Amino acid sequence: MSQPRVTIAGAGSIGCFVGGVLLDGGFDVRFLARPRVIDALAQHGLHLTDYGGLDLHLTDIVATDDAAAALTGADVVLVCVKSGDTEAMAKVLAAHAPAAQVISLQNGVANAGILRAVLTGADVRAATVPFNVVAQSPGHYHRATSGDILVEAGPLPDLSHPHQRWISVDNIEAVQWGKLLINLGNAVNALADMPLLDQLQDRAWRRLMADQMAEALRVLKAAGITPAKTAAAPPHLIPLILRLPTPLFRVVAASMLTIDAQARSSMWDDLKQGRKTEIEALQGAILQLADRFGRRAPLNARMRTLIRAAEEAGDGPPGLSPREIRS
């Protein structure tokens, strides 16, 4: 397939960034988005920046909240909605783009299965997006961390761009579990209400992240799941690296991940905007496995409780300390 028509289904921060890079690469890209995003793109265009100096200004963006207009004729649909909206989006795709190739660029491990259950017979691929995108102002999206998009193996159009590589992998389920382990830190960052880089400079925060991940790794082992390496270090070593004294951690981390001072988690942004988070697709997935295999995961349960409380309060990220989170 050459230069397919691409629709971004759920154009938030990740969708706008990924879609914008494809648009810059010459693809016909349409954005299915909420009115707030549509208005911003109409008024300001699409401005993409990143930690490495990328600076793209794109205009004449085709963005709409009309599903039929956005999806009809699409060859590839990139699903970027929150996990809780996956089934509803699948039904929309079934109505307006039943023949399109569908790629899930979503957090968690269950979304591709939910899409397949509705889009019977469609070519649905799971994928992981390793980088973080921060909405800096209306129409301006900044990629604050590094990484390539990994997609379930099979025939795919060439979507790669000098600033965004797409790589086909055979072990996508293991990759998704590896990414989920990293994404458990989203809740920690959201509760802290601070830039991720600042958080990683503090050993108390890193120990909290390490303890949560180690707890999740024990649950995955009980479930017979071996997560794939999605960072420079394998999953079982990451808690050890996080627990290192700060001067040594800085040296080791410098070779593992490119991150700038603006990086924050998508869950932080959800709380900031008063939106539901993906806590159930992340910590919730670990807790489901823990229940099924007779294990305990109290720190992951604590994170879920605190995020749910923050969602209900609607006051944004609560700005807790490591001690308050653990108590």
Domain ranges, ordered by start, for the chain: 5-170, 175-326
Sign of CA dihedral 70, 71, 76, 82: positive
Specify the residue for token string 């954005």.
Answer: 31
Residues in the chain with pLDDT < 50? 1
Measure the CA–CA gap between 235 and 228, rounded to whole angstroms. 7
Burial 77-95 (b: 16+ CB within 10 A, else e): bbbbbbbebbeebbebbee
From the list 147, 323, 311, 158, the residue with the least C-alpha distance to 230 is 147
pLDDT reported for residue 247: 94
Domain 175-326, what fold?
A: N-(1-d-carboxylethyl)-l-norvaline Dehydrogenase; domain 2 (1.10.1040)
pLDDT reported for residue 201: 94
pLDDT reported for residue 43: 96
Sign of CA dihedral 297, 299, 301, 304: negative
DSSP states of 228-240: PP-SSS-GGGHHH
Specify the residue for token string 């308050």.
Answer: 324
Helix axes 203-222, 185-192, angle to 10 degrees: 150
pLDDT reported for residue 1: 44
Please say whether the structural domain 5-170 has been given the CATH code 3.40.50.2300.
Answer: no
**What's the Cα-to-Cα distance from 231 to each of 50, 75, 130, 143, 322, rounded to whole Å?**
19, 31, 9, 17, 24
| Model pTM score | 0.93
Burial 176-200 (b: 16+ CB within 10 A, else e): bbbbbbbbbbbbbbbbbbebbbebb
Q: Quick check: 143 and 17 in contact, CB under 8 A?
A: yes
pLDDT reported for residue 257: 67
pLDDT reported for residue 2: 58
Residue 254 one-letter amino acid: A
